[in-house]
Structure 1
Amino acid sequence: MTHFDARTFLKTVFDAAVASAMPGPAILTHLPDKPRGRCIVVGAGKAAAAMAAAVDAAWPDVPLSGIVVTRDGHAEPAGRIQVLEASHPVPDHRSQEAARRILAAVQGLGPDDLVLALISGGASALLALPRPPLALADKQAVNHALLTAGVGIGAMNLIRKRLSAIKGGWLAQAATPARLVTLTMSDVPGDDPGDIGSGPTLPDEGTNAQALTILAEHAIKVPDAVRRLLEQPDPPRPVAPVRSSCHVIVKPADALHAAAAAARAANIPTLILGDRIEAESREVGRMLAGIALSARQHDLPAPAPLLLLSGGETAVTIGQGPAGRGGRNMECALAFAVAAQGAPGIWALMADSDGIDGTEDAAGAIVGPDTLSRARNMGLDAASYLARHDSYSLFAATGELLITGPTRTNVNDIRAVFIG
């Protein structure tokens, strides 16, 4: 295609996906009946502050208070609802204090009161209250080990629930006898609300034996205190309020459909490959490069011009060697570029919808036919950067980082491949 800026087009598509996932409109359409008594708003996640602000604005006439916790840099004013910040993806002492304060906020309520729980991706790390006798250091060690072992989000959250005094339904039990309504924004493949933020208001169906199996399968070493706890019989399950409901108000698929609509408005045919792709980041990058090359050379799965969209949550297994800087989306983008080998007419954007890929200041990266040549001209070997998980450093040098800042929403990864 002549006179077509593929990078700008991909950024426009990404922006449309993120805009569709902003929580304000969805909050308004899912608010429950107003309570006869008080409304206590609690919540956690990367979108928690934006969700809380929407509730405060929508209910000016309701006796309302509350507290939510979000990731550093994701806060915004929420009127009568206090907004805290804490560390992500590994929890810190502020995560523990936020969990304690949120549990305290729902104590002593009556049946006429309403607890409105606002949960979005990132809540697992932001609400870190260790189950006795564990200490915060034990939770931090487990979290770090899970993040570097390539464990899927469902298995990761199963373990987190077993070690928590607030996740897996314990927050719901603390809210009894008030009415409890949970509004969640999905960032997990399959949209299971019990996996979103490790389900602090939903029952934990996992077992200690399952947690031990996951640790063994991935050869993950955990502190002795954690292993001793998991080797004990399962503790009693939390009991949720009788009047309890949960609603997933925004899903990753919604964002992909919005991205597709933006592409079609630009007269670019689009295929959505799925919203729940889970695999090693570099393997997903190689797979998508293979599909793009097939479309370019053989018109399969469709002829160019074509946009391929996908979502989900990939993983990066670090292994034993040293690792550089990067996130799962940047690693996926670098693997895509290496596999595409500079083939003409192929570009890709791989980014996290929350604006932060891993722990870096970039949402992801946009790569194209000139990515490898840009690197070579600087004396950089893209394959070696991929081998040592140092995608951020390469893209910082080539000028291909996608930097958006915190978006205050989260519907997981957005991958867009354009074949022109």
Structure 2
Amino acid sequence: MTTADLSAAPDPARQPREFLEYLYRVAVRRALPLHNTAAFLPAPPAQGRTLVLGAGKAGGAMAQAVEALWPADAPLSGLVVTRYHHTPPRPEGLAQRIEVVEAAHPVPDAAGLAAAQRMLELTRGLTENDLVLCLISGGGSALLTLPADGLTLEDKQRINKALLESGAAIDEMNCVRKHLSRIKGGRLAAACAPARVVTLTISDVPGDDPSVIASGPTVPDATTCADALAILERYRIDVPRAVRAALEAGTLETPKPGDAVFAGHAVHMIATPRQSLEAAAEAARAAGIAAHVLSDEIEGESREVGKVHAALARAVARHGQPFARPCVILSGGETTVTVRLRPPGSPRGRGGRAGEFCMGLAQALQGQAGVWALAADTDGIDGVEDNAGACVAPDTLERAAGAGLRIASHLDRNDAYGFFDALGDLVVTGPTHTNVNDFRAILVL
């Protein structure tokens, strides 16, 4: 499935899955950097140079958009880091002026550490005549890794993995990441002084707070060391003794709102989850299907969010309330998956939050007639697997039983990938080169 062909919507009554995949493609296309960057690009500086720095799953596509739109005779250079295999093919004739490197996500690696070190080196010698254009998108927290004093890369990997499996919300995870970093939480902007900094960002977080997106490397941070310490204690995550002492003493504090280092800086949100959901809603209405956007800020345990969506879909299917049939119900945000403890020696499940949402939804729907659904991550990767998400149909549980699959067992071991792969119901797109987080669509006919 690609985002290229959006010429005609499939018939939702005859091709419900294809229709939902079409809406997903519309949502992704709305968030592609090339379609959203031109209106927010600053003019090249009259004197000085333009340095581009960036991190995130959309980083490669954002860099190419800047290269395509920047005046050919204006100096441009820089470094952007994106996830492995997330650099888009280079359009024919587009000269490369911004270096793009790849690193690991969601658990950082040495390549991300090297990229962060190089970015700080590139900021040396900047003057007030220079412009720093920062391209920030979701995923940048893991990709832009530079551990605080007293932490090793191995420490950061362990802490990051523990946060991912704890069920912590994205703002909680990024609060910790900011305080355990030498580049996030506004520190990259501080390193750019006295140059002017303009940040272009694609939101992947509920509320579109730029200080949460990629842990806000170029914006002020209102959270504190005490907040980070409380989150670590809440989820029982250990850090080295010296780092705990530094958090308790406040010596790992980040630059705060009102700090002079941010004077004259600008932040532009070039794509948001809400815009993508509204684009999908417009496409559904154009196909004759009423569309309702619940929210782009839904958080919580993925399977439980799936159950709530199932209750709403059942009410529509059975009673025509609160929405009349036919309709499509859309939502976004960032749910979480708490990885369950497994008996020693038992196989580890595979899958991400979109697949876990679909399992919770299917289990609660119990084969409700007339209800189809798709949940997928708009970056094209659900967790660390090769699928974007999964689809649910009225016969999902029936087909699973016929294949000898027990959905409760797959939920117990967080194995959405194994469940939907066996049914042929994975949604596989490959990297989309953008990221506005979760996309969910439920079609009720």
Matched residue of 1:289: which SS?
helix
- Alpha-carbon distance between aligned partners in 2 of 1:40 and 1:194, rounded to the nearest angstrom: 21
1:249 corresponds, among 241, 251, 270, to 270
Matched residue of 1:88: which SS?
coil
Alignment-derived partner of residue 7 in structure 1 = 17
- Alpha-carbon distance between aligned partners in 1 of 2:262 and 2:51, rounded to the nearest angstrom: 15
Matched residue of 1:197: which SS?
helix
Shift of 1:42: 0.6
Q: Note if contact 2:135-2:201 (Cα within 8 Å) is conserved in structure 1.
A: yes
Q: Does 1:70 align with 2:62?
A: no
Q: CA deviation digits over 1:202-232, x for unaligned, max 9?
A: 1222211111211222233334444333222
Shift of 1:235: 4.0
1:43 corresponds, among 54, 58, 62, to 54
- Alpha-carbon distance between aligned partners in 2 of 1:61 and 1:198, rounded to the nearest angstrom: 34
Q: Does 1:315 align with 2:327?
A: no
Matched residue of 1:283: which SS?
helix
Q: Note if contact 1:138-1:225 (Cα within 8 Å) is conserved in structure 2.
A: no
Alignment-derived partner of residue 211 in structure 2 = 194
Shift of 1:58: 1.0
- Alpha-carbon distance between aligned partners in 1 of 2:100 and 2:208, rounded to the nearest angstrom: 26
Shift of 1:173: 0.9
Shift of 1:320: 2.4
Q: Note if contact 2:219-2:262 (Cα within 8 Å) is conserved in structure 1.
A: no
Q: Does 1:384 align with 2:409?
A: yes
Alignment-derived partner of residue 6 in structure 2 = none
Q: Note if contact 1:207-1:234 (Cα within 8 Å) is conserved in structure 2.
A: no
Q: Note if contact 2:150-2:243 (Cα within 8 Å) is conserved in structure 1.
A: no
What is the percent sequence identity of the aligned residues? 53
Alignment-derived partner of residue 58 in structure 1 = 69
- Alpha-carbon distance between aligned partners in 2 of 1:365 and 1:171, rounded to the nearest angstrom: 37
Shift of 1:145: 0.6
Map 1:160-239; keep pairs closer than 5 Å. 160-235=177-252, 237-238=254-255
Most deviating of 238-247 and 295-304: 238-247
Shift of 1:2: 9.0
Alignment-derived partner of residue 159 in structure 2 = 142
Q: Note if contact 2:179-2:253 (Cα within 8 Å) is conserved in structure 1.
A: no
The count of residues paired between Structure 1 and Structure 2 equals 420
Q: Does 1:104 align with 2:121?
A: yes
Alignment-derived partner of residue 24 in structure 1 = 34
Shift of 1:400: 0.1
- Alpha-carbon distance between aligned partners in 2 of 1:360 and 1:241, rounded to the nearest angstrom: 38
1:403 corresponds, among 425, 428, 433, to 428
Map 1:252-267; keep pairs closer than 5 Å. 252-267=273-288
Q: CA deviation digits over 1:85-121, x for unaligned, max 9?
A: 0000000011100101111112111211110000000
- Alpha-carbon distance between aligned partners in 2 of 1:231 and 1:242, rounded to the nearest angstrom: 29
Matched residue of 1:191: which SS?
coil
Matched residue of 2:296: which SS?
strand
Matched residue of 1:331: which SS?
helix
Q: CA deviation digits over 1:184-216, x for unaligned, max 9?
A: 000000000000100000122221111121122
Matched residue of 2:293: which SS?
strand
Pick closer, same or farther for the CA change 1:236–1:328 going to 2, 3 Å.
closer
Structure 1 residues not aligned, in runs of 5+: none
Most deviating of 51-60 and 251-260: 51-60
RMSD: 1.5
Shift of 1:299: 0.9
Pick closer, same or farther for the CA change 1:2–1:330 going to 2, 3 Å.
closer
For 1:304, give the aligned amino acid.
Answer: R
Q: Note if contact 1:329-1:350 (Cα within 8 Å) is conserved in structure 2.
A: yes
For 2:67, give the aligned amino acid.
Answer: D
Q: Note if contact 1:141-1:222 (Cα within 8 Å) is conserved in structure 2.
A: no
Q: Note if contact 1:149-1:319 (Cα within 8 Å) is conserved in structure 2.
A: no
Alignment-derived partner of residue 293 in structure 1 = 314
- Alpha-carbon distance between aligned partners in 2 of 1:225 and 1:338, rounded to the nearest angstrom: 46
Matched residue of 1:182: which SS?
strand
2:297 corresponds, among 250, 255, 276, to 276
Q: Note if contact 2:179-2:225 (Cα within 8 Å) is conserved in structure 1.
A: yes
- Alpha-carbon distance between aligned partners in 2 of 1:294 and 1:42, rounded to the nearest angstrom: 48
Q: CA deviation digits over 1:116-160, x for unaligned, max 9?
A: 000000000000100112111111111001000000011111110
Matched residue of 1:231: which SS?
helix
Q: Note if contact 2:351-2:416 (Cα within 8 Å) is conserved in structure 1.
A: yes
Shift of 1:68: 0.1
Matched residue of 1:355: which SS?
coil
Q: Does 1:359 align with 2:384?
A: yes
- Alpha-carbon distance between aligned partners in 2 of 1:289 and 1:212, rounded to the nearest angstrom: 37
Q: Does 1:347 align with 2:364?
A: no
Q: Note if contact 2:200-2:267 (Cα within 8 Å) is conserved in structure 1.
A: yes
Q: Note if contact 1:392-1:401 (Cα within 8 Å) is conserved in structure 2.
A: yes
2:361 corresponds, among 336, 341, 347, to 336
- Alpha-carbon distance between aligned partners in 1 of 2:226 and 2:12, rounded to the nearest angstrom: 58
Shift of 1:19: 0.4
- Alpha-carbon distance between aligned partners in 1 of 2:130 and 2:186, rounded to the nearest angstrom: 19
2:110 corresponds, among 78, 83, 93, to 93
Q: Note if contact 1:138-1:226 (Cα within 8 Å) is conserved in structure 2.
A: no
- Alpha-carbon distance between aligned partners in 1 of 2:149 and 2:294, rounded to the nearest angstrom: 43
Shift of 1:242: 2.7
Structure 2 residues not aligned, in runs of 5+: 1-10
- Alpha-carbon distance between aligned partners in 1 of 2:415 and 2:320, rounded to the nearest angstrom: 33
Scaled by the length of structure 2, what TM-score is found? 0.92
